[in-house]
Chains A and B, each alone.
Chain A
Amino acid sequence: MADTPIPLEVRNITKRFGDTEVLKGLSLKAHKGDVITLIGASGSGKSTFLRCMNLLEQPDEGEVFVHGEEIRFKQTKHGREPADWKQVVRMRAKLSMVFQSFNLWAHMTLLENVIEAPVHVLGKPRKEAIAHARQLLERVGLGEHADYYPAQMSGGQQQRGAIARALAMDPEVMLFDEPTSALDPELVGDVLKVMRDLAKEGRTMIVVTHEMAFARDVSSEVIYLHQGRVEEAGPPQDVLGNPRSERLKQFLAPKH
């Protein structure tokens, strides 16, 4: 398997907002089947880092490779930007994102949400997309909700719907940006269960989360960020089970 391209790799990403440097040279390599969780306090840069991977934020420095293909950048008067937006659009179609606030398209039914990008971005025949979408909705436990609008569903249902939307792209890598943080506690479990199943079937996932149990049980690698730097990284049993850094120990300590 040595010559299959790495699904996603980023090197030395830096990002500043005004005078504040929020990412100070972060790298990450996601091999097929990896589940990498990014943890850290708010403001540590973990969401920004994730958003740099599909270029929702433009990194000021650093390289992004998707499936072995390097994204080309150029300098403009607005800062560094991708040189070829067509390339970005193509690479984004390989990286599905699940957002903290779900962001299902409010004017479409759940089914329409799920088939939207496959039909309009990937050019999949509508019939085929609908059949696939129904399977996926069944899988996330929303088989009965295909014709609901997002506003008619609970947060947990919306997020599971958003995961079905992400799966419909048949993505190389799934990016999760704090997928359970906006949910009522009793709804978190259903979403995490779906994510655990995805990890089990070998999906490549990068997950920004505060769910330590999920990070411990599911990840192949945990990265702890502090002020835009990697403070500690490695397998979960080391990083979470036996943290070396004082900050990480504090971060993991039960809060009263």
Chain B
Amino acid sequence: MIDLHGYGPRLAEGALITIELALLSLVLAIVLGLLTASAKMSRSRVAHGIGTLYTTVIRGVPDLVLMMLMFFGGQIGINMVTDQLYERFGWDIFVNVNAFVAGVITIGLIFGAYMGETFRGAFLAVDSGQIEAGRAYGMNHWLVFRRIRFPQMMRHAIPGLSNNWMVLLKTTALVSVIGLTDMVRVAAEASKATREPFTFMIIVAAVYLLIATVSEWGFARLQKRYDVGYREAD
């Protein structure tokens, strides 16, 4: 049996943080991705410009740099705002950037840009006749989206979505840099204290692999669900 030197519970807590962080970031990334895709497909030039700026900036700057910018730079920015509020209105507010929240926002922001491209491609792959039929039958914009565009788009989006999720999952390891005690940070501390890095890192690797495997299975099921009606045609 592997001797964890009492780090077992902390590792488990760290793994939980990793999973929470990844899932919340995924939700944020999907929301941002859908918004970005709509913005980039919109005929409004402003919306299109904002969408393009967002994806260009995010995809052109390293994840780690963005994360540190958000965590350290974000704190300075918030302090400036709260200082102003105190000086002008006498409001005494103190906001501390929480490493978990900063992590979710940063990872969500980063992957929102990638998801945006995935969703945009997937939306464009939906046959326009399907959408037109919805409009011709009196569906409003939202109903067409909910009943036709979204379910048909998902079929094309899932491979990209699943790919993004795998990369996102591994990107969560970066949050240990900004002081969040995720699984990687616990393992790094334990490695130092016990001088048994292999023991702890192999466990971390195995947990990531386990999450990835379960995800693959989940995405395969999801794909099957959204492929309904198409299998015979392919």
Inside 8 A of A85's CB, which chain B residues have their CB? 140-141
Q: Which of B127-135, B169-177, B186-194, B203-211 contacts A (4 or more CB under 8 A)?
A: B127-135
Chain A residue nearest in CB terms to B133: A103
A99-123 at interface with B (beta carbon < 8 Å): 99, 101, 103-109, 116-117, 120-122
* Measured CA separation A120–B146 after assembly (Å): 11
Q: Which of B21-29, B73-81, B158-166, B224-232 contacts A (4 or more CB under 8 A)?
A: B224-232
What is the interface of chain B mostly: helix, strand, loop, or mixed?
A: helix
Inside 8 A of B88's CB, which chain A residues have their CB? none
* Measured CA separation A195–B82 after assembly (Å): 71
**A108:B139 contact, CB within 8 angstroms:** no
Inside 8 A of B226's CB, which chain A residues have their CB? 107
Q: Which of A27-35, A90-98, A217-225, A230-238 contacts B (4 or more CB under 8 A)?
A: A90-98
Q: Which of A135-143, A144-152, A246-254 contacts B (4 or more CB under 8 A)?
A: A144-152
Count how many chain A residues have C-beta atoms less than 8 Å from C-beta atoms of the other chain. Answer: 32
Does A212 belong to the interface (CB within 8 Å)?
no
**A169:B43 contact, CB within 8 angstroms:** no
Partner of A89, one of B43, B139, B147: B139
Chain B residue nearest in CB terms to A149: B229
Chain A residue nearest in CB terms to B43: A78
**A93:B232 contact, CB within 8 angstroms:** no
* Measured CA separation A255–B155 after assembly (Å): 45
Does A56 belong to the interface (CB within 8 Å)?
yes
* Measured CA separation A151–B233 after assembly (Å): 5
The answer to whether A151 and B230 touch (CB under 8 A), given A85-B140, A89-B138, A117-B138, is yes
* Measured CA separation A98–B172 after assembly (Å): 50
The answer to whether A107 and B135 touch (CB under 8 A), given A120-B147, A121-B143, is no
B92-116 at interface with A (beta carbon < 8 Å): none
* Measured CA separation A152–B147 after assembly (Å): 21
* Measured CA separation A256–B148 after assembly (Å): 44
**B138:A90 contact, CB within 8 angstroms:** yes
Does A157 belong to the interface (CB within 8 Å)?
no
A123 to chain B, nearest CB (A): 11
**B129:A103 contact, CB within 8 angstroms:** yes
Partner of A120, one of B139, B151, B232: B139
Does A14 belong to the interface (CB within 8 Å)?
no
Does B1 belong to the interface (CB within 8 Å)?
no
Partner of B133, one of A93, A99, A122, A152: A99
Partner of A106, one of B130, B137, B138, B147: B130
Does A54 belong to the interface (CB within 8 Å)?
yes
* Measured CA separation A104–B127 after assembly (Å): 11
**B132:A103 contact, CB within 8 angstroms:** yes
Contact mask for chain A residues 124-163; partner B; CB cutoff 8 A; 1 contact, 0 none = 0000000000000000000000000111100000000000
Inside 8 A of B139's CB, which chain A residues have their CB? 89, 117, 120-121
Does B55 belong to the interface (CB within 8 Å)?
no
Inside 8 A of B137's CB, which chain A residues have their CB? 92-93, 96-97, 116-117, 121, 165, 169
Chain A residue nearest in CB terms to B154: A107
B8-37 at interface with A (beta carbon < 8 Å): none
**B132:A108 contact, CB within 8 angstroms:** no
Does B136 belong to the interface (CB within 8 Å)?
yes
B200 to chain A, nearest CB (A): 46
Inside 8 A of B130's CB, which chain A residues have their CB? 103, 105-106
Does B152 belong to the interface (CB within 8 Å)?
yes
Inside 8 A of A101's CB, which chain B residues have their CB? 129
* Measured CA separation A104–B132 after assembly (Å): 11
Chain B residue nearest in CB terms to A118: B137
Partner of B229, one of A90, A103, A150: A150
* Measured CA separation A97–B129 after assembly (Å): 12
With A99-B133, A151-B230, A151-B232 already in contact, 6 other A-B pairs whose C-beta atoms are closer than 8 Å: A85-B140, A93-B137, A97-B133, A105-B148, A106-B152, A149-B230
5 pairs, A vs B, C-beta closer than 8 Å = A86-B140, A93-B137, A105-B133, A107-B229, A121-B138
